[in-house]
Structure 1
Amino acid sequence: MEAFPADDPTYNAWGSCTTSQSTGNSCVYVSLKQRIPAYGKYSFSIEQSIVEYKALGRILKSSNINWNEAAKLVDPGYEQKMPAPIVDALLKMALFATQMLTSPNYSGPAKELLVARYYVNECAFATTELAKAIEDQNKEKSLGLWNFGMDSWNSYLSIVNRAISPKVGDKFEMIS
């Protein structure tokens, strides 16, 4: 038993168990049957929004900013009929975190889930304020808000990536 590879996803889908001081539960386990469908349902939208958030950063960092293109990337659906992928992904990020981090063995929300939801709220705040700064064509404020949003996105991704094993799918790429 000493040679059992606890962190090998072939044998243990979660890896090492996490310890919760408040519940005493040494293994908050979320089954593959719960995580795989969630990944299939939400990963494409989240991945697309990551790609577009990176593109928005490139636009805002350029010497000649295309404000119309930047505005389209954070449009909540006013100009276009549908919200931009960055805006559309916010609810899906919260739902994805809930599916990936909620254990049927524990009745309350896990601390990781609450932190993930906090970062989704931070992403939503940054996106809303970024849309206003882009509308005002304020480069300095736009870049500051984009960096704030990038930090919130990466914090969220670092939490949910821990729940994604190779059997579930590929981990999300961080924004830089």
Structure 2
Amino acid sequence: FGPAATASNDMRVSVGPVLRRLDATAGIAAVFVAIATTPFSLGRAAWAETDLERRDALAAQIEKRGGLDTERRGQFNEKALFQEDFYYKYGLRPRPEEVQNKFNAEMPYSPVARRYNGYSKYGSRIRNGITTYASLRKDIDEANWQGVKEALQKGSKGQGDAVKPVPPSELRSFARALGLVSNSLLQSENDSSTTAANLLARHLVNEAYFAMDDIEAAAAASDKAAAVAAWQAGAEYINAFIGLVNRNITPKVGDQFEFIVLG
């Protein structure tokens, strides 16, 4: 995702598995040394001929985007809703506009029947979630913090008969549905690994989910400006996801998802 880069389905650098082989306390420099022998083609790194050049190219791309996000995502991306995403594999966090404007690769093949079945299973939850997320802005504008809190309830597990489980809210369930539908729309059962498009889709979902966390934190602090900013960020990531998966939603699959109107 360099200034003139496009993504392809054969990108092969693998930060996540490398991180798993390193001690959790190892520094970022150690990560770069470890991946120096890993072949990849990503953005401007395509020109790199030696392992050292490949390492430096990827390091520059990661640093350009603020480095590895271990505080929010954890050492191995274990805090994300979907662990195996674009960040987990490549260490990069493409912004919504980058995915929308620079991911010009051919979309991965998925049979119509597979796409139709996934769309039929999750489409209604996703459409309802899009509407609910859009309406969340009204609660924020009106400082209805209790309503915001209820809309972003993550849910909890039960503890025997003493504590009953609490299901996640519609919006939290919506985020999970986004990640699950991409497995049908952007992935074939014949693929030997997760496609680049699917990794990107999961990354966008994870960022939208983190934005929900930020909205919830802002609501707890009655910070309207922060809540609006977080809502806007989440909407942009959701819209980027919609733009990505809509490319594989043909008339035989169903109606394409509508975008959230940004305020």
TM-score, length of structure 2 as denominator length: 0.54
Q: C-alpha deviations, 1:6-53, integer Å up to 9, x for none?
A: xxxxxxxxxxxxx94738xx7842111101110011111111111110
1:21–1:159 Cα change, 3 Å: closer
Aligned to 1:81: 166
Aligned to 1:36: 116
* Letter paired with 1:121: N
Aligned to 1:66: 144
Rg comparison, structure with higher value: 2
Asked whether the equivalents of residues 9 and 196 of structure 2 are also in contact (C-alpha less than 8 Å), the reply is no
* Letter paired with 1:55: S
Instruction: Compute the displacement of 1:68 (Å).
Output: 1.4
Following TM superposition, the consecutive aligned residue runs of length 4 or more in structure 1 with deviations greater than 4 angstroms are none
Q: Distance in 2 between matches of 1:48 and 1:118?
A: 21
Compare 102-111 and 116-125 and name the one that shifted more: 102-111
5+ residue gaps, structure 2 = 1-6, 12-105, 157-164
Aligned to 1:22: 10
1:160–1:42 Cα change, 3 Å: same
Asked whether the equivalents of residues 28 and 106 of structure 1 are also in contact (C-alpha less than 8 Å), the reply is no
1:21–1:53 Cα change, 3 Å: closer
RMSD over aligned CA atoms reads 2.1
RCO greater where, 1 or 2, for CA within 8 Å and sep 6 or more? 1
Aligned to 2:133: 53
Question: 1:82-101 to 2 correspondence within 5 Å?
Answer: 82-101=167-186
Question: 1:123-162 to 2 correspondence within 5 Å?
Answer: 123-162=208-247
5+ residue gaps, structure 1 = 1-18
Q: Distance in 1 between matches of 2:193 and 2:212?
A: 29
Asked whether the equivalents of residues 182 and 201 of structure 2 are also in contact (C-alpha less than 8 Å), the reply is yes
Instruction: Compute the displacement of 1:126 (Å).
Output: 0.5
Asked whether the equivalents of residues 28 and 105 of structure 1 are also in contact (C-alpha less than 8 Å), the reply is no
* Letter paired with 2:122: Y
Asked whether the equivalents of residues 29 and 105 of structure 1 are also in contact (C-alpha less than 8 Å), the reply is no
Instruction: Compute the displacement of 1:81 (Å).
Output: 3.2
Q: C-alpha deviations, 1:69-95, integer Å up to 9, x for none?
A: 2222111126x9322111112222111
Q: Distance in 1 between matches of 2:134 and 2:211?
A: 14
1:72–1:98 Cα change, 3 Å: same
Q: Distance in 2 between matches of 1:21 and 1:35?
A: 18
Q: Distance in 1 between matches of 2:10 and 2:132?
A: 39
TM-score, length of structure 1 as denominator length: 0.79
1:54–1:106 Cα change, 3 Å: same
Q: Distance in 1 between matches of 2:9 and 2:223?
A: 46
Q: Distance in 2 between matches of 1:55 and 1:118?
A: 24
